[in-house]
């Protein structure tokens, strides 16, 4: 079984650098996919209230027999539940669906700037952290301006910002900001939902290393220092995406992938999604 490296978050909690995402997987199918992932060796699972599959994740965790302290479970607060009291209630509902007494990471899913509630919401997450109901708190889809503003009123610096990130959208300004504040960068849609897998540079590096295009892109993330959470419901791909710890890209290989940056956003724009 592959050994997945951990990164250490800014509060000392460790998090696997590679995890398993379940966006767009129906609840029933989620149980089977997470069971396959846990069996393959994944220990970090990324879900969200809005995915509608926290129960499916919880069933797989309960049936797996994997000790709770070996798991790293992330879920996210949906936009409609932003605000101090509603965030606390939404957290309780997520925990209940997951069948857990705590999560490892709780994220504000989107800044939704037009709602102007993320600073109030953050205070609720700080309370959840202080009460030991989550081991770390963070944000998702925060742009530099949202993060800078949050940091002005926050008592706790977010441990993580989970953002769309892949060779086609490299988010350098955000990654620099994260580095300055000790915030871990977690890449969602690390494979750009497949959109970068036929890029010539990716395909030619796959041939060079005798690996798949997805494995090349995941290696780029890992060597760049990103946390990755590729999603698949296909058993062979679930294994393939984990089988990335026994080869390395050279500096030239990394440069060839870094040259693919082109503002390729596959998901919503965080400035306008509300
Ligand atoms: N915070 C946010 O706002 C946010 C937004 C989006 C996603 N996320 C998180 O990030 C996770 C990953 O993102 P994502 O699901 O959007 O996209 P992704 O992981 O970049 O790509 C998933 C797609 O790629 C395919 N795939 C997976 N492994 C492959 C491989 N080895 N070779 C070829 N194709 C492969 C999958 O197909 P099959 O499943 O059919 O195998 C699926 O269609 C999500 O599941 C979710 O947990 C967070």
According to the model, what pLDDT value does residue 274 have?
A: 87
Do 161 and 140 touch, CB atoms closer than 8 A? yes
Q: How far apart are CA 147 and CA 84, in angstroms?
A: 18
Q: Distance from the CA of 188 to the center of ligand 1, in angstroms?
A: 8
Residues 149-181: b if buried by 16+ CB within 10 A, e if exposed:
bbeeebebebbbbbbbbbbbbbbeebbebbeee
Nearest residue by C-alpha to atom 29 in ligand 1? 237
- Report pTM: 0.98
pLDDT in tens, the chain (274 residues): 458 999 999 999 999 999 999 999 999 999 999 999 999 999 999 999 999 999 999 999 999 999 999 999 999 999 999 999 999 999 999 999 999 999 999 999 999 999 999 999 999 999 999 999 999 999 999 999 999 999 999 999 999 999 999 999 999 999 999 999 999 999 999 999 999 999 999 999 999 999 999 999 999 999 999 999 999 999 999 999 999 999 999 999 999 999 999 999 999 999 999 8
According to the model, what pLDDT value does residue 1 have?
A: 46
According to the model, what pLDDT value does residue 2 have?
A: 53
Q: Distance from the CA of 153 to the center of ligand 1, in angstroms?
A: 33
Q: Distance from the CA of 242 to the center of ligand 1, in angstroms?
A: 13
According to the model, what pLDDT value does residue 53 have?
A: 98
Do 259 and 201 touch, CB atoms closer than 8 A? yes
Q: Of these residues, 42, 51, 106, 118, which one is catalytic?
A: 51
Strand partners, 251: none
According to the model, what pLDDT value does residue 155 have?
A: 98
According to the model, what pLDDT value does residue 3 have?
A: 87
- Residue ranges around ligand 1 (CB below 6 Å): 21-23, 46, 109, 140-141, 162, 188-194, 197, 212, 214, 229-234, 237, 240-241, 267
Q: Distance from the CA of 222 to the center of ligand 1, in angstroms?
A: 16
For the question of residue 42 being annotated catalytic, the response is no
């Amino acid at each position: 079984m592959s050994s997945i490296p951990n990164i250490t978050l800014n509060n000392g909690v460790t998090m696997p650098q590679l995890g398993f995402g379940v966006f767009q997987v129906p609840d029933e199918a989620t149980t089977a996919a997470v069971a396959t992932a846990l069996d393959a060796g994944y220990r970090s699972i990324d879900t969200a209230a809005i995915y509608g599959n926290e129960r499916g994740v919880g069933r797989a965790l309960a049936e797996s027999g994997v000790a709770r302290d070996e798991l790293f479970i992330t879920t996210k607060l949906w936009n409609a539940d932003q605000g101090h009291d509603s965030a606390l209630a939404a957290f309780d509902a997520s925990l209940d669906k997951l069948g857990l007494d705590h999560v490892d990471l709780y994220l504000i899913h989107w800044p939704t700037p037009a709602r102007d509630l993320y600073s109030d919401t953050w205070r609720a997450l700080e309370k959840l952290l202080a009460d030991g109901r989550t081991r770390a708190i963070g944000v998702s889809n925060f742009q530099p301006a949202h993060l800078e503003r949050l940091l002005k009123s926050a008592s706790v610096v977010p441990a993580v910002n989970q953002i769309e990130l892949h060779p086609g959208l490299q988010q350098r300004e955000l990654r620099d900001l994260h580095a300055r504040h000790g915030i871990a960068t977690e890449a969602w849609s690390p494979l750009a939902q497949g959109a970068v897998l036929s890029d010539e540079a990716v395909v030619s590096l796959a041939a060079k290393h005798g690996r798949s295009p997805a494995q090349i892109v995941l290696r780029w993330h890992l060597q760049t220092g990103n946390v990755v959470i590729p999603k698949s419901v296909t058993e062979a791909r679930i294994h393939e995406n984990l089988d990335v710890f026994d080869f390395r890209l050279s500096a030239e290989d990394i440069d060839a992938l870094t040259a693919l940056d082109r503002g390729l956003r596959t998901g919503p724009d965080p400035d306008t999604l509300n």
